[in-house]
């Protein structure tokens, strides 16, 4: 393996770790915010619109998947909470 390939491989591993950490932070934020809304009996649309999603907008497929992810978590948390 040449030096450039080794550097690229290490960089690739670091990117994967950073992506995992970023995704974990996103999921934690989503679950915390939707969980708070469920506990407060806030309607989903109101809860979703109240979140500042700007930090996560650069994620691949954000526009296609974020609202669906948030809604699924909201419904799941409702079931867990018994509401």
Q: Radius of gyration over alpha carbons of the chain, in Å?
A: 17
Per-residue pLDDT tens over the stretch 50-68: 999 999 998 889 999 999 9
**DSSP 3-state assignment of 57?**
coil
- What is the pLDDT, as a whole number, of residue 59? 86
Burial bucket for residue 38 (CB in 10 Å: 0-12, 13-18, 19+): buried
Is this model's pTM higher than 0.95 or not? no
Q: What percent of the chain has pLDDT over 90?
A: 67
Q: Which residue has the higher pLDDT, 18 or 38?
A: 38
């Amino acid at each position: 393996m040449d030096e450039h390939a080794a550097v690229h491989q290490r960089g690739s591993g670091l990117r994967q770790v950073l992506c995992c950490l970023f995704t974990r932070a996103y999921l934690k934020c989503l679950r915390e915010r939707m969980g708070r809304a469920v506990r407060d009996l806030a309607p989903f649309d109101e809860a979703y619109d109240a979140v500042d999603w700007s930090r996560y907008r650069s994620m691949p497929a954000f526009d296609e998947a974020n609202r669906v992810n948030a809604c699924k978590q909201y419904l799941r948390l409702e079931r867990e909470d018994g509401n």
